Each structure stands twice: as C-alpha cells, then as structure tokens.
Structure 1
Amino acid sequence: MSTDRHYAREFVRTFFTSPTAVQGEDDSAKMLRSAAQLRGMRAPDVWVPDNEDATAPSMREEGIENIIEVVAEHGADFPGEIHPRVVWHREDPAARYQGFQQMLRVARSDTGAIEHIDGFVIPEVGDVDDWKKADEFFTIVEEECGLEAGSLSMSVIVESGEAELALGDLRAEMGKPSNNLERLFLLVDGEVDYTKDMRAMTPTGELPPWPELRHNTSRGASAAGLIAVDGPYDDIRDVAGYRERMEENRAKGMTGIWSLTPGQVVEANEAPLPPVDGRWLLEVGDEEVALEPDGEAQVYDGDEVGLDVVGDGEYALRVGGDERVLDDEELEAELLDMTAYVPSLDDIVDSMEEFEAAKEAGRGAIAMTQSTTVVIDGVSVEISRDRMWDEATYQAAQTPITLFQDVHEHRPDQHEDLEEMYGADVVERATAVGN
C-alpha cells in the first residue's frame, strides 16, 4: 500500500479533550463553549469534545446534544479540527452500538453541526477486526446522512494489547476493497487503560512510562501514513516534566500529545517548533547543560567542569573527578566532542538556502562551518567543526521546516504569534524554503 496521507495535515501537536456535559452547572456545556472559543496558541490542532471518559455516563445523552449545539454555533470559526469522542468497547456490542447512535445523532441534526466536524474518535478498540466494525459504522453514517464517502475521519485510542498488536496489521489491511480504513487519521495512546489491560503494577501506583507503546504507535503511524499522538500527562503543574515527555516523544517521531488544559495546549503547540535562538550545549556527566551566550562567546557556569592554563599551550581539563592535561589541539577535540549546537529556525533556513544555492550551481555536497568560543573558568577556547551537507542531510533538516510550514498553512490564527516569536522576515523565508 501507499503511505501517502489521506488528509491535509501532516502534523498534529495538540489533542485537547473537553467534557461534553458537566453535572451540577446551570450550563452543562460551559466547558465546551469555553474550548470552542480558544484561538491562537491556546487553541489545539485537534479539539475532542469527549463524550466518553471525561463525561459521566448519566450525562452522555445531554453531552451529545451539547456537542450539536456548541459545534453548530462555534464550529465554523474554530481554528483547529473537531473530532468528538464517542463511546465504544471491543468486548461490548451494546457500547459499540451506542457509539454508532451518537455519531448518527450528530450527523442527522438539522443544525448543520456535522459540516464543522472532521471525524470521530473511537476509544477502547481491539484487534483490527474491531477497527473495521467502527469503520463500517462510519460508512453507514455517511450513507444515511448524505455525506461524501470517506469524508469523516476515524481516530482510535490504543488502550489494550490487542490494539497495540493491530498496529502491525494496518499496513496490510488499509486499502482492501472490503474496508474503508483509509479514513484513519490519528493513533492515540491511552496509557491509563493500557496499564489496566496489561495488569501492570508499580510500587507507587503511578503509571509505567511505556516507551515501547509510544514507539510502537509511532512506528505503526509511520508505516500506515497516519499521525501518532501520546496520551495524557496527568500532572498538569509539572511543566518541566511535560516538556521532557514531549522531547522524548519527538525523538521517536511522535510530535503530538494529549493536552488536558489550555496551558498544556500552549506548551504542546510551541514545543515542537524550531527554537527562536540557537544555543550551545555542553555534555556534563549524563546531562547536557546550556551554555550562556556572552557576545560571540559561550560561557559555562558550573562546578562539574573546570579548565586551567598550566603551561605554554597546555591546559588542565577537569570533568567530574577526572583531570587531564591537554595541548591546544587535544583540548579543542575534547570540547568539540563535549559540545553540541541546537540550531534556531533562522539557522536551519540559512543552511537550507545555502545548500539549495549550491545545488543550483551544480554542487552535490558542501561543507558548512560551525564555530564559537567556549569559556570555562575564564579560559577561552576556539572550537570549529565542518559538517558536510548533501541531499540526505538536507532532507533530514527539512522535517522541522515541514512542521513549521504545516502549522503556518493550517493555523492562520497563529500567524501573528509566529511573527512575534521569530520576526516576519524569518517566517517569510521559512515558509518559502524547500518548496
């Protein structure tokens, strides 16, 4: 099968859920109304009015009516995609039928709400046969309500071992004439129910990190041309932990993450974007420490690394409890090995433009120099490295640019934020490079 994507977006950064009905409130839809009016960096790429776990079972009938009302009123102006979550369960035919009826009610409403809904989210799926049952219900809804075949996308939440194993079947199953699984959009991890399904335990009762699940979901999405999204990060006050989780995910190819609050939405919207300013890092033990810029120099301000001049062209470099005497060349080589540079958006665009110009001139590869002055304990050392850029390097550098361009194309409500962050000139060049 082809892994060409069947929808416009290539990246989803934020998957934001809202209860569809809140018990004991004068307006049970107040959280839906609030979410529907989010804009800019506070608005998610995908908004999920959640009529499953986030809404009490006794309120779900009212929740469907609230979805219809709020989406009909605000859906046309909402800047992201709208994908309500309905009830479903791989082992419960009644729950599956109930989910089908919820989708049908939204699609049949004479309010026009369905015109603003991009798809539905199906939780608690099982093996791939269960995914096909959901797909068949989507097909019936489209047929019953006069919608174009395949116009409603289907996202699933991977919350069981069965669903995780099904990820490996998608590539072979999608595209068969017996199903319409091409409507699949997001593969979303649900680590809480997955932990329950796996009968996993930890001494503290906290969730295991499940890096294998996140890897498998990302791999399944890549193989099938879909988008992978990590599950919720429950400690909403732990901003540093949320950022660390997202950084780990991006190294697995998983850009998106579940967001539980508008604050998490802002963090998750901004985190994957290329940095505004480039920065140098110094490896200290098992960590990388950001060096402080001082003019053209980069200063280390810490106790784990020390540097002294001990003679003409000789230096004593201390890292932790280890101290070595090195000459100029040896010191530069050691610091080159200990340092890394995180490029800014402007840096990436500069490099890509330079390589494009070289290609235009008939050159297949060029060397690009990266240099700075590292200052440790007041001792300055010039370091410089050459990196060869060829077509493969260029393509790898294009991923963050493609993300930026995808955001710029599909989220015009964030244009002002992006220009404020990077400057209008950088944004203009970043949207043009690589095209």
Structure 2
Amino acid sequence: MSVKRHYEREFVRTFFTSPTAVEGEDDSAKMVKSAAQLRGMQAPDVWVPDNEDATAPSMRDEGVENIVEVVSEHGADFPGEIHPRVVWHRERPTTRYQGFQQMLEIADPDNGAVEYIDGFVIPEVGDIDDWKKADEFFTIIENEHGLEEGSLSMSVIVESGEAELALGDLREEMGKPSNNLERLFLLVDGEVDYTKDMRAMTPTGELPPWPELRHNTSRGASAAGLIAVDGPYDDIRDVEGYRERMTENRAKGMTGIWSLTPGQVVEANKAPLPPKTGSWLLQVGDREIELESEDGRQRYEGNEVSLEETGDGEYVLRVGGDEQQLDEDELREELLDMTAYVPSMDDIVDSMEEFEAAKEAGKGAIAMTQATTLAIDGVEIDISKDRMWDEATYQAAQTPITLFQDVYEHRPDQHEELEEMYGADVVERATNVGN
C-alpha cells in the first residue's frame, strides 16, 4: 500500500498538541475530537495528538485507540498535517519498544487512520545512534504494513544535551545507505526537559530562555534541509510575550512555534505573515516605539523624546537625559539614524515587482526610497532614506513572500481570512511575484 503525503511544506508556523485521552471524562477523546475540527487560522499547520507528556501513562493505550478513531473519521478534512507524538526515551529500551508498538497500531492500514497520518513525533531522543533506532522502527513499520518506505516522516523533540549535539551530525549522517534519516521533517525544542537534563536553575524557578538552543536547532535544521520549531510558551495569557518570543525566533530563522491553545495557534499563524500596513519605528534607548500614523505624518506622543525649534534653522533634540543643538540637516541625519520602517505586504510586493522590472530591463541594482514626515512636539521634519536593491536584497525580501505563498498553497481553508486581511488584489499579486 502506498501512502501519499498530505503535502510538502517549506514552512511550519504552528505545532499544536492535544491530549489523546483525558482521564475522568465521559468521552476521553474530547480534546482530540475538538482539535480535529479546527479550521482557518485556528487550525495549526501541524497537529500533534500527544500520547506522551499530555496524556497520563494509564490512559495511553486508550489514547492510541482515540487517535485511530478520530483521525479515521476527521483526518480527510483536517487542513494541516497530522503527526501523533508517541513515547520514547534514549535511556529506556522498554519505553522505546512501547513507542514502536504505538506507532505500529496507529499505522495499521486495517485501522483506517494511516491514510491521513503524515508521520510521528519522537520525544526524548539522545545521540545520533538513538535517532537511527527510531528511524529503523519507522522502516520496520512501513514494511510490516506494506507502506512505501519513507512515507512516514519523523520529527524529533530536542530535550537533552545529547540531542542538541546530534544536530551537528545530521548533515553527515543523512543520506547514508545504512539509514532512512531523510524521513526527518521537524526539529522541535523542548525547553522544559532540556532544562532538567542540563540541571539548570534560576532564582525564580522559571525556565531559562535558552537562546543558544534555539539558535543551534535553527542552524541544524538549515544545514540538513529541515524545519525548526520552538518549544511551548507556557504563559498562555501573555500574548505580548508570545509575540516577542516569535519575533526573536524569526530573527534566528525559526518560523514555527509550539502552540498550546487555539488562541496561541491564531497568534502563531498570523505573526510570521507580512503586516497589512507599513509602520515607522523610533529607536529610543533599547526600545523601538511604533509611531502613530496620521494624515501622512508619523507622530511621536511619548515623553522620552522632545524636539524644539529655536529659530534661525536651529533645533534642540532631547532623548532621555541627552540634549543636542542641531541645524536642520544634522537633525534630519539624527532622526534617520533613530528611525526604521516596517514594510507592509503591499510594500514588499511593490518593491519586488519594481526590481523584477528593472532586472528585465538589464539593471543589476536600483534605489528604493522611503519617505515620511516626523512630528515631534508639533515640530515637523521630512525624512527620506534610499536603500539599494540588488539580487541579494531581492532574495532576502522574498522570504516573507515565499512563506505567504507556501501558506496560500497548502492552507486553502485560510484563503478567505487572508483576503480579508490584505485585500484580494494584494493577495493575487503576492501569489504571483517571484515565480
């Protein structure tokens, strides 16, 4: 039997876990049933029925039954990929065997679920030899059930120093005839167990931020052609903190993040997409303040920056405790250094189309101008900055558009919301630019 993968993705924004069996409920499968029916921005790119940490050990056999039942019924209509998480542990052969048995049951074609299952998530992996053990179980399962070799993808959760070091071995190990590690899909950080494994402590008992782990996972994914995903953000009410975490991650090349609730899924699905409208930022100390757009002007309303015109073309600019007396040109240069522009989807598409037209006409580089009027304490100053666009700039700008195109291709259930967000014309242009 040949199983067709749901699709091949270049980006994964959301990794959403749900308990496979809830103890003490009339219907133990209520959480997976609810998750299987999510659509649009509430539905993740990757759904993970979680038969490990999210499910009590005494409920895991029932959890396997629930996965099979719910995926068989709802898998055909679920808009994302489905990757159940099973039990595994680098130091416990018995646990690894239990994970093998769980996968063997879920992947049995007679049970009707494997047709909609794209792969499995393996937690608590160790060194590269441990990854190969899991991969070998996948191969055995595929052969046992008559599935095409490599049809089930394998994602791992990096939860130990051993697993983090194994990231550096992937590039060399993948592709060897002695393994099928090409089936790897996601590298997911598990900061809670990683903290335990590292014996790390903080005064408050909260998790360290582990920026090194996130960087190493992103680098390992890039080197091996895989996708990196950050771990869970436990404070589900801290929406701003979740957004900040995702912004930091994207600067590391890590687009995806674990989502614990449908609300977090919505935030994580939208966050990497280019904004609907552009905005100007003012750098004040170590903070970036978004300016208020009003009548074509960018207005600063805070108390940390003040500007006064003293006459004869002279100005006094105060930032924090610093004061400078500047002429108009000096002021303009100072404000240019303090400002940055966040382009909208329309801005990015416009710039890419303009560069494509220039390249077609034989030009290797062109200047793009960004201009606005800053208003601080009623004093207005026109600023403009030129940015040279060459092929490298074009390729860098293309990344958010490539993400949008990937989303648009693989998530038709989000088309309506994307058109409401950007407008049908911008969506059409964005899907065609760069192709």
TM-score normalised according to structure 1 size = 0.98
Q: Does 2:220 correspond to 1:235?
A: no
What is the CA-CA distance between 1:109 and the residue it aligns to? 4.8
CA distance in 1, matches of 2:14, 2:32: 17
Per-residue CA deviation, residues 84-139 of structure 1 (Å, 9 max, x unaligned), is 00000000000001100100001115232000000000000000000000000000
CA distance in 1, matches of 2:150, 2:111: 21
Matched residue, 1:256? 256
8 Å CA contact 1:279, 1:343 repeated in 2? yes
Q: Which one-letter code corresponds to 1:336 in the other structure?
A: L
Matched residue, 1:110? 110
How well do the aligned residues superpose, as a CA RMSD in angstroms?
A: 0.9
Share of identical aligned residues, percent? 85
CA distance in 2, matches of 1:387, 1:249: 25
CA distance in 2, matches of 1:428, 1:153: 32
Q: Does 2:124 correspond to 1:129?
A: no
Per-residue CA deviation, residues 294-352 of structure 1 (Å, 9 max, x unaligned), is 11110000110000111211100111111111011101100000000000000000000
Matched residue, 2:9? 9
Per-residue CA deviation, residues 161-216 of structure 1 (Å, 9 max, x unaligned), is 00000000000000000000000000000000000000001111100100000000
Matched residue, 1:391? 391
Which secondary structure state, in structure 1, belongs to the residue aligned with residue 334 of structure 2?
Answer: helix
Matched residue, 1:4? none
CA distance in 1, matches of 2:96, 2:339: 54
Matched residue, 1:320? 320
TM-score normalised according to structure 2 size = 0.98
CA distance in 2, matches of 1:111, 1:131: 27
- Within a 5 Å distance, the mapping from 1:15-30 to structure 2 comes to 15-30=15-30
Matched residue, 1:199? 199
Which secondary structure state, in structure 2, belongs to the residue aligned with residue 167 of structure 1?
Answer: helix
8 Å CA contact 1:68, 1:109 repeated in 2? no
CA distance in 1, matches of 2:324, 2:310: 11
Which secondary structure state, in structure 2, belongs to the residue aligned with residue 363 of structure 1?
Answer: coil
CA distance in 1, matches of 2:154, 2:25: 31
Matched residue, 1:226? 226
Q: Which runs of 4+ in 1 moved over 4 A?
A: none
Matched residue, 1:306? 306
Q: Which one-letter code corresponds to 2:209 in the other structure?
A: P
What is the CA-CA distance between 1:17 and the residue it aligns to? 0.2
| 5+ residue gaps, structure 2 | 1-6
8 Å CA contact 2:109, 2:115 repeated in 1? no
CA distance in 2, matches of 1:146, 1:420: 44
Matched residue, 2:41? 41
Q: Does 2:370 correspond to 1:370?
A: yes
8 Å CA contact 2:49, 2:84 repeated in 1? yes
CA distance in 2, matches of 1:203, 1:232: 21
| 5+ residue gaps, structure 1 | 1-6
Q: Does 2:295 correspond to 1:288?
A: no
Which secondary structure state, in structure 1, belongs to the residue aligned with residue 151 of structure 2?
Answer: coil
CA distance in 2, matches of 1:267, 1:92: 37
Q: Which one-letter code corresponds to 2:140 in the other structure?
A: I
CA distance in 1, matches of 2:97, 2:352: 52
Q: Which one-letter code corresponds to 2:180 in the other structure?
A: N
Q: Which one-letter code corresponds to 2:30 in the other structure?
A: K
